[in-house]
Chain A
Amino acid sequence: MTNGRKSGLSLQEHQVAGNGLLDRRLFLKKGLQFGAISTIASSTALAATNSETKIKSAHPPWMHVPGKPFSTYGMPSSFEGNVVRFPTQNEAVPGNGVSWTPLHLMEGTITPNGLHYERHHNGVPQIDPKKHRLLIHGLVKQDLTFSIDDLLRYPMHSKICFIECGGNSNAGWNKQPSQSEAGYFNGLASCSEWTGVPLSVLLGEVGLRKKAKWLVAEGADAFAMQMSIPIEKALDDAFLALYQNGERIRPENGYPLRLIVPGWEGVLNVKWLRRLKVTNRPVMARNETSRYTELQPSGKARMFTFPIEAKSLITSPSAHMVLKEPSLYQITGLAWTGRGKISKVEVSADGGETWAEAELQEPVLDRAFTRFRLPWHWNGKPAVLKSRAIDETGYVQPERTELVKQRGRHGFFHYNAITNWHVDSDGFVSHVYDKNENETTDSDISIDSGWD
């Protein structure tokens, strides 16, 4: 029967919500017992094959030859070759597009640098740090430039925070649920420890004039990416990152210098930062007017939608995975909010009829990925899994029906609704919308357009 039965647990006793959701502390309490069972099974197997040849064959080839020598820069195991970003780019301009973080193949909360999502408008510049300068000018008392070597001498601080592209998960606006793997339509979000110089220090050195209200940030890429950021945010917690997860930022994430605006939409975290113009108003760049604005059903568009609203996603089980048999499983996923900390993640296994609180991995950090987990006994019958994040402001992640009702389907950006995973009786997991969403099925026209 099930693992649950083998362990002698009474599942009913631990059930906290419908369709097999179990107490979030169950694995913590009973972990040892589960561990003991699998150890017993394997020692029995060994005992039955106790001859010399059998012993040899029980020791794999790599125990009989010296291993490979040291390496200067470690790479993932060759057996993990499927754990890669998934690029989607413009055919005519290959440097214009995105690559998705494979969230469904990952655990914990930190994104390895090689898997951090990418969004480039015209490729990854190969910048010689000796030839890169940052200019701060405009409504300041003294215009100044800084070399990278200069900036490396400044006092630094670190923050673990997520960055999420404003266009992440935007397949959710489509009438038909995307059947891509979870990370390949929700993985324009990643979480790193960024280290660098607080922007307030540099703004203190140039000296802001009284009329200073906005900063126009510009990148040194072939798009000369330009975005406006309110001065309050710049002085509050924005910083100029030189390091990502302990090493210098990767070229595709802004080497040698990236502006980090914790919790605010990805496009504001300008990569390859070369210029900050202090102004009294936004510049109204292409990417804060014609793009990264959200057209509403009224015909008006939301603009300067900076903080990322709370969101969560079950990363396992998720689309394309198969549950082998009715058994005890761990539901796990990520939650994040641009407005502080995640206070709670609730999970449902019965399509939202009942909910149970998931265990949050400590420490729960401000504007960082928060890992949640919950044990679940799948009984072999169809089930719909959902997760919803609640942040410290009390904001509750909306159902898709609710979000579409509020925002229509042409906002393109800032899709943060609950994702449903349907498990069928064969254990196959797919993406479904709620039945009451009553979308017409006669159209396969996708969201407005791609990543131009």
Chain B
Amino acid sequence: MKRQILISVLIAVGINHLSAEPPHGPGLGHAISPEEIAAWDISVFPDGEGLPKGEGNVKDGKALYKNKCIACHGENGLGTATGDQLAGAQMGLTSEYPEKTIGSYWPYATTVFDVVRRSMPMTAPGSLNDNEVYAVTAYLLFLNNLIGEDDVMDAVTLPKVKMPNEDGFINVYEEETSK
């Protein structure tokens, strides 16, 4: 009897999905349009997927930084008691007091855009438009000597910025699960 039920269940699942899939619930989800999803989705990946249109330069970024970021992150991104140091690392990662800045530690330039757009400034997150986020990103990369003063950041140039510590990470999960 039990086996019969199991077989019927398997057949039912098979008819619905033609392959083994996780169990179904009552199916109460609502469809959503691609346009609406695009408005929700602000995730930016290292290869540039998710980067919006627009562009920003170092000069504009510097002005924005002085206005919106400097209170916490300090002059030239050197950090304060309340905000991360973002640039100007003097001490290397193997030193007694390592400094983990965008230039010395962060593996991907796209992460700067992503976190500035979604989380910054802390007092008014989401208040910068995409051009402004590109500009602030450009200025921070410039402060870390990762781009030139005249470089412009956009969806094409940003993912190409070479980050010195890109290979500085050990993927512990991958190591464990590939054993």
Binding site for B on A (CB under 8 A): 90-93, 96, 121-122, 135-137, 142-147, 150-151, 153-155, 197-198, 200-208, 216, 218, 222-224, 226, 230, 232, 235, 275, 277, 279, 281, 283-286, 289-290, 293, 295-306, 410, 445, 448-450, 452
Contact = CB atoms under 8 A, between A and B. Distances in A.
A285 B37 contact: no
A154 B29 CA distance: 11
Interface stretch (B2-10, B54-62, B90-98, B150-158): B90-98
B1 interface: no
Interface residues of B, number: 59
Nearest to B33: A143
Contacts, number: 178
Contact of B84 (A142, A206, A449): A449
B21 A208 contact: yes
Nearest to A137: B37
B24 to A, nearest CB: 5
23 contacts: A121-B119, A122-B122, A143-B31, A146-B29, A150-B28, A155-B25, A206-B29, A208-B22, A216-B43, A222-B125, A230-B177, A277-B41, A284-B46, A284-B108, A284-B111, A285-B115, A289-B106, A289-B108, A289-B111, A289-B169, A290-B105, A295-B93, A299-B92
B45 A204 contact: no
B31 A205 contact: no
Contacts of A198: 23
Interface of B: 17, 21-32, 34, 37, 40-46, 71-72, 80-85, 92-94, 97-98, 100, 102, 105-108, 110-111, 114-115, 118-119, 122-123, 125-126, 168-174, 177
Contact of A285 (B21, B114, B123): B114
Contact of A295 (B26, B41, B72, B98): B98
Contacts of B106: 289-290
Contacts of B97: 445
Nearest to B84: A452
Contacts of A448: 98, 100
